[in-house]
Amino acid sequence: MHSNLHIAYAFIAVLLGVIVIGLTALYTMKVRDLRRRKAADAYLAKHGDWFTYVLANLDGEEKVYPPPGPMKEDELRVVQERLIGWIEQFRGEQQRKLIALCEGMGLVERQLKRLDSPFEWVKLDAAYYLGCMRSHQAVPGMMKLLASMRFGPMVFIVGRAIAKCAKYTEELRDMVHLLLAHKKEAQPLIADILAESELDCTPMLETFLRSGDPDRIRLSLAAMQKRPLPGSADRLFKLTAADEPDIRQEAARLLLKDPAFATEERVRKLLTHHDGEVRARAARAAGAYGLAGCIGLLRSAMADPEWKVRHNAARSLASLGEEGFAALCAAAETEGGPGAEEARDAIRKEMKRRELAASGREPGWVPVREGRGLGYEPFFGQKELLTER
C-alpha cells in the first residue's frame, strides 16, 4: 500500500517537474522573441535615414552605397531582410541596383559560404536568400544540392531559387529534369517555378510539348495556362488523341479556350471524339463561338450517353439562332429519355431569358414569344413549354 503511494507521489513529482520545465522553456522562448523583435525595431530605426536614401536613389544613375560603419550579425540580418523584400517588390533597373547593393555589402558572399555548409537546413536557408538576391554564382551549388535531395516540399524551394538566378535556358532545363526525375505529379508547381524566371522559356516548352514524354508534355500544358505558346494549335489538336486522359482533356481545354485555335473543322472533329469530356468541351465551344456549321453534330449530341455533352449541346443550340433553336425543338420532340428533357429545359431557359430581355425593349420591338412561336409550336404547345418549371 505504502509502496503504491510512493510510486504515485513520485509520478506526480516527475509530472510537475516536466510541466515546470516546459513552462520555463516557453517563457524563455517568448522573452527571446520579444528581445529579437525589439532589437530589430532598433536596427530599423537606426538605419531609417539610410533606407530612405536607398529608395530615393533607385531611379537615379548614381550607385547606391552601403550604410557607413560595421554592423553586427543580427543587424546585418535585419538589413538583409528589408533589402530582399524590396528586391521581390521592384523590377527592372531598381531591382538590379538593389541586387548590386547586396553584393557590395557582402550579403551574397556570406550566403555562398553557407551554401557549402555540411548541414542541409543551412544550405536550404542559403539557397532561399541567394535566390532572392538573384545570384548566378550560386546556380552550380544549388543544382548540386537539388540533385542530392529526396523529394519533398524543400526541393521546390531550391528549384524556385535556381529559376530566379538562372541566366541560361540550359540551367532551367537541368533544374526541370531534376524535379521531374522524382516522378511525382508536380507539373503545375514546376510551371509556376518557371514563371519566376526572367528568361524566355517558350523554346524549351515547345520542345517539351513536341516530345513523347508524358511528364514533359504535362509540364508544357500546365505552363500554357499562364503563358500560351504561339503556333501550338496543331500540336494541341494532335494531343487530343493522346492515350493519357488528363493530357488529351487538358489539350482540348487549351485548344478550345482560344477562338483562333477553335476552328469549325477542329470543333466538328472533337464533337465525335471518343472521350466524353472532350466532346462536352467541343459542344460548349460550338455555341460560344457561334459555329453554325456544327448544328447538325450538336443535334446528334443530344442523344449522347454523357449528361455533360447533352447539357452543353442543348445550350449551344439555343444560342445559334433560328436554325439552332429549331434543331433544339426537334430534339425535344423526337429524342426519348434524357435528351428530350435536356432540350426542353434549355428551351424553357432560353425563352425566359429572351422574354426578360424583351420586357426592357421599346414597344415596337417584336416580343420573343411571338417571334419564336413559329420555331417551337409545331412540336409542342407554347403554354406547356413556358409553364413546365
Is 325:292 a contact under the CB 8 Å cutoff? no
Residue range 14-39: mean pLDDT, rounded? 84
Q: Kindly report the CATH number assigned to the domain that includes residue 297.
A: 1.25.10.10
What does the pLDDT look like over 221-280, one tens digit per residue? 999 988 888 889 999 999 999 999 999 999 999 999 988 899 999 999 999 999 999 999
Please report which confidence band the pLDDT of residue 386 belongs to, taking 50, 70 and 90 as the band edges.
very low
What's the rounded Cα separation, in Å, for the pair 304 and 285? 17
Question: Are 190 and 302 contained in the same domain?
Answer: no
Would 215 be classed as within a structural domain? no
Q: Is the pLDDT of residue 88 over 80?
A: yes
Taking Cα atoms as reference points, which of 314, 284, 103 lies closest to residue 111?
Answer: 103
227 domain residue, yes or no: no
Domain total in the chain = 3
- Could you tell me the CA-to-CA distances from 47 to 79, 224, 231, 382 in Å, in that order? 8, 44, 52, 79
Question: Once rounded to an integer, what is the mean pLDDT over residues 198-218?
Answer: 92
pLDDT of 59 reads 86
Asked if 44 contacts 80 with a C-beta cutoff of 8 angstroms, the reply is: no
pLDDT at 335: 58
Q: Is residue 354 part of a domain?
A: yes
Confidence of residue 373 (pLDDT cuts 50, 70, 90): very low
In a domain, 120, yes or no: yes
287 and 364 fall within a common domain: yes
Q: C-alpha grid cell for residue 229?
A: 505558346
Q: Are residues 385 and 318 in the same domain?
A: yes
* Predicted TM-score (pTM) of this structure: 0.79
Do both 42 and 94 map to the same domain?
A: yes
Using the 3D structure, point to which of 182, 197, 212 is the last residue of a domain: 197
Residues 97 and 122 grouped into a single domain: no
Residue 160 cell numbers, joined: 524556385
111 near 129, Cβ under 8 Å?
yes
Q: Which domain holds residue 45?
A: 19-62+75-105
Band (366; pLDDT cuts 50, 70, 90)? very low
Task: For residues 302 and 375, state if they share a domain.
Answer: yes
* Predicted pLDDT at 271: 94
> Do 268 and 388 reside in the same domain of the chain?
yes
Asked if 266 and 387 sit in the same domain, the reply is: yes
298 part of a folded domain: yes
Q: Is residue 10 part of a domain?
A: no
Whether residue 342 is found in the same domain as residue 371: yes
The verdict on residue 40 lying in a domain is yes
Q: Of all residues in the chain, what percent carry a pLDDT higher than 70?
A: 90
- Residues 266 and 178 placed together within one structural domain of the fold: no
Given 175, 197, 219, the domain boundary residue is 197
Residues 296 and 333 occupy one common structural domain: yes
Among 197, 225, 250, the domain-final residue is 197
- For residues 13 and 15, give the distance between their C-alpha atoms in angstroms, rounded to a whole number: 5
Mean pLDDT of the chain: 86
The answer to the question of residue 29 being in a domain is yes
Is residue 88 domain-shared with residue 130, that is, in the same domain?
Answer: no
